[in-house]
Amino acid sequence: MTRRELREHVFRILFAYDFYTKNPEEAKEQIQLYFTHEGGDEMDYPPEELTEEEAEEVTRRVCQIAEKIPQIDERINRTSTGWKTQRMSRADLAILRLAVYEMLWDDNIPTGVAINEAVLLARKFGGDDSSSFVNGILAKMERLREKA
């Protein structure tokens, strides 16, 4: 599985997480539901395509991100103008959370890659303006980080 495919699985779980739980401890329950999903809807993801190692990596990343959501949201709220996390679309917010985590806490992913991948996710899963919105917030966050 490519990093992009792995990232998409993480995004999908984060998206569902925001609707069904606000507690990092419950993230594992959401992950389990994701992996045992039997299909039949528009999501078109057979969980059986993941190896055990890949499923463990997805689980690890989702749990790490879920634990940092308060810090991530605080960063997003400080950076965005006129759009606080409570007003953002759930897809855009899940994409931003994933990208901010990668930018700030994942040393294996260069910042430019995290931003580019977030924009691609926004094009695929967001609204018409999502890719511009996500790119703008992440680019501004990176500029502010470089000045600090």
Per-residue model confidence (pLDDT) at position 82: 85
What's the pTM value of the predicted model, to 2 decimals? 0.88
Of 93, 102, 106, nearest to 137 (Cα)? 93
Per-residue model confidence (pLDDT) at position 144: 85
Task: Answer yes or no: is pLDDT of 51 > 80.
Answer: yes
What is the span of the domain harbouring residue 134? Answer: 3-147
Number of domains in the chain: 1
Estimate the crossing angle of helix 130-147 against helix 69-79, to 10 degrees: 90
In sequence order, what E strands does the chain have? none
Confidence of residue 21 (pLDDT cuts 50, 70, 90): low
pLDDT digits (tens, 9 = 90+) for 89-134: 999 999 999 999 999 999 999 999 999 999 999 999 999 999 999 9
Which of 15-29, 35-49, 88-102 is least confident? Answer: 35-49
Q: What is the CATH number of the domain that holds 122?
A: 1.10.940.10
- Check if the beta carbon of residue 100 is closer than 8 Å to that of residue 72: yes
Of 61, 51, 81, 50, nearest to 17 (Cα)? 61
Per-residue model confidence (pLDDT) at position 40: 46
Taking residues 54-79, report their average pLDDT. 93
Per-residue model confidence (pLDDT) at position 41: 52
